[in-house]
């Protein structure tokens, strides 16, 4: 049984896809998709030996080794041209790490037309990477599970570049107009946190910095959305 978070990532993997799940840990996501005949092939990439062995163990235990392969590799280097991967999932990491992984081996994304990403924090930097690499956000989800809030970003390769406003990058072009209760609660917390950070910076009586300006700009954006 997958968590609601991983099940939601899985929902956006096209039927019959050839998937690379990067940072797969136990390979729960590709294993579930393979068991449900949702994918035709999958690679579970892991950079750390322990999780890589977990993935291998899970794949063997479930008898999925015809469809799934675990690879010990850093980021997208788990993808080999012969895999003909068309969909990449990256879940359960910070946005800056997801961005780093996407940036490090761009040639491995040749042939990939869908990305399903679940950054735990720093979603804006992931959306910014997408707009710079001709991936258009086609769906987003926000959900709360076990006291955490998760955002899932689905993006498809497009021929013409897309650009997002500062508000769309921060809040998400689909999540922003929807303003779900989970979304509102997240940004109320984020507003409080940012206001607290600003007051600490002001109490420290250091000269105004770029951090302070960025925090004030963020507060203004959040207040605008919650108004
Ligand atoms: N994707 C699973 C999920 O969402 O439940 C596991 C998330 S787990 C918190 C993050 C995993 O990413 C860890 O197992 C870690 O070893 C792996 N990881 C971190 N950096 C990586 C990289 N550069 N390449 C591949 N895997 C990486």
pLDDT digits (tens, 9 = 90+) for 163-187: 999 999 999 999 999 999 999 999 9
Please give the Cα distance from 212 to 203 (Å, whole number).
Answer: 12
Q: Which of 135, 163, 191 is the last residue of a domain?
A: 163
Statement to judge: residues 159 and 187 lie in one domain:
no
pLDDT for residue 28? 98
> How much is the pLDDT for 72?
98
Nearest residue by C-alpha to atom 15 in ligand 1: 23
**58 inside domain:** yes
Question: Which residue, judged by its Cα, is nearest atom 26 of ligand 1?
Answer: 23
Looking at the structure, do residues 157 and 49 belong to the same domain, yes or no? Answer: yes
CB 46 near ligand 1, within 6 Å:
yes
Cross-strand pairs, 114? 87, 156
89: enclosing H helix or E strand: strand 87-93
Number of domains in the chain: 2
104 and 33: one domain?
yes
- For atom 2 of ligand 1, the residue with the nearest CA is 24
- Write the CB contacts of 92 (distance below 8 Å, at least 6 apart in sequence): 5, 23, 25, 118, 120
List, as one string, the DSSP characters of 22-56.
ET-TTTHHHHHHHHTT-EEEEEEEESSHHHHHHHH
Q: Among the three residues 163, 197, 213, which one is the final residue of a domain in this structure?
A: 163
- Residues 149, 37: Cα–Cα separation, whole Å: 29
188 and 216, same domain (yes or no): yes
Q: Does residue 174 fall inside a structural domain?
A: no
Task: Kindly state if the Cβ of 25 falls inside 6 Å of ligand 1.
Answer: yes
Boundaries of domain holding 97: 4-163
Q: Pocket of ligand 1, candidates 2, 13, 23: which has the most ligand atoms within 8 Å of its Cβ, to mutate?
A: 23
149 found inside a domain = yes
Residue 203, pLDDT score: 86
In a domain, 72, yes or no: yes
Last residue of a domain, one of 114, 133, 163: 163
| Residue 172 within a domain | no
Domain CATH code at residue 135 = 3.40.50.150
User: Which bin fits 171, alpha (ψ -120 to 50), beta or left (φ > 0)?
Assistant: alpha
Distance 24 CA to ligand 1 centre (A): 6
Asked whether 116 lines ligand 1 (CB < 6 A), one says: no
* Shared domain check, 190 and 101: no
Is 119's C-beta closer than 6 angstroms to any atom of ligand 1? no
Query: Model ipTM?
Result: 0.99
138 and 211 both lie in a single domain: no
Residues of the chain with pLDDT under 70: none
For residues 18 and 72, state if they share a domain.
yes
**Going by CA atoms, what residue is nearest to atom 8 of ligand 1?**
92
91 with 136, same domain: the answer is: yes
What local confidence, expressed as pLDDT, does residue 210 receive?
83
In a domain, 74, yes or no: yes
* Judgement on whether residues 214 and 117 belong to the same structural domain of the protein: no
Same domain, 157 and 189: no
In this structure, the answer to whether residues 145 and 218 fall within a common structural domain is no
Domain-located, residue 99: yes
169 within some domain: no
Instruction: Note whether 45 and 110 are same-domain residues.
Output: yes
């Amino acid at each position: 049984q997958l968590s609601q978070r991983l099940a939601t990532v899985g929902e956006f993997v096209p039927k019959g896809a050839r998937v690379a799940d990067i940072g797969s840990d136990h390979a729960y996501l590709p294993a579930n998709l393979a068991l449900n005949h949702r994918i035709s092939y999958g690679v579970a990439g892991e950079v750390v030996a322990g999780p890589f062995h977990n993935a291998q163990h899970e794949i063997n235990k479930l008898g999925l080794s015809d469809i799934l392969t675990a690879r010990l590799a850093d980021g997208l280097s788990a993808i080999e041209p012969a895999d003909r991967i068309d969909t990449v999932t990256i879940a359960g990491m910070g946005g800056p790490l997801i961005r780093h992984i996407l940036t490090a081996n761009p040639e491995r994304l040749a042939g990939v037309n869908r990305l399903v990403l679940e950054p735990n924090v720093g979603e804006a930097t992931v959306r910014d990477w997408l707009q710079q690499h001709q991936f258009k956000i086609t769906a987003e989800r926000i959900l709360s599970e076990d006291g955490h809030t998760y955002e899932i970003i689905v993006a498809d390769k497009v021929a013409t570049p897309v650009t997002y406003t500062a508000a769309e990058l921060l809040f998400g072009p689909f999540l922003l107009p929807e303003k779900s209760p989970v979304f509102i609660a997240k940004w109320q917390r984020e507003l409080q946190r940012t206001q607290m950070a600003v007051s600490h910076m002001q109490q420290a009586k250091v000269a105004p910095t770029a951090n302070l300006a960025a925090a004030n700009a963020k507060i203004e954006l959040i207040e605008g959305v919650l108004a």
